[in-house]
Amino acid sequence: MDGTLLLSGSHDETVRLWDVQSRQSVRCLAHKGPVTNAVIAAAPANMFLPDSRPAVPLPRFSRHLQAPEGGESGEVCVRLGLYAQDDEQTYLQKAERLKQLMNAVTDKALFGDGENTKLRVAELEEEVQTLKKVNKDLYDFSSQLLTKPT
């Protein structure tokens, strides 16, 4: 995480760890398929301490998927880190949602709650017609001025 190492994957089913400064391959790891992306996450701070205990105690692993009696076994729900969760919104999704909310607030401030919308639309249409008439008059005047014989 300090910028001295680089991780690269390839379609030849290998991942290489590179030393950036010396441009040397430090390690090569083989995989069962092409590696197109990787996520690097920092290890928890207490992971390498010998006296540390996990925050959620996990039960011992069983050899079988279901208990022999067919009854319910003790289940533990483990919350994965943010990188492994699929239901988390990305920053782009959050930004898009925020933009939609801001536009909705702006539209509501401009047009009201819908009561004055028809009146506002009529005023704007009248203004457009006035501007079209002024534009046509200006065009006619300028074309007459340019085509007038001297």
Quick: pLDDT tens for 62-74: 665 555 555 555 5
Instruction: Report the relative pairing of strands 5-9 and 24-30 from DSSP bridges.
Output: unpaired
Predicted local distance difference test score (pLDDT) of residue 139: 92
Residue type present at position 21:
Q
pLDDT of 57 strictly over 80: no
56 three-state secondary structure: coil
Q: CA–CA distance from 66 to each of 63, 73, 78 (Å)? A: 9, 8, 19
Q: What is the mean pLDDT of residues 2-29?
A: 91
Q: What is the mean pLDDT of the chain?
A: 77
Predicted local distance difference test score (pLDDT) of residue 94: 79
Predicted local distance difference test score (pLDDT) of residue 81: 57
pTM, rounded to two decimals: 0.34
Cα 63 versus chain centre, distance: 40
- From CA 104, how far away is CA 106, in angstroms rounded? 5
Q: What is the mean pLDDT of residues 86-111?
A: 73
Selected residue with higher pLDDT from 122 and 52: 122
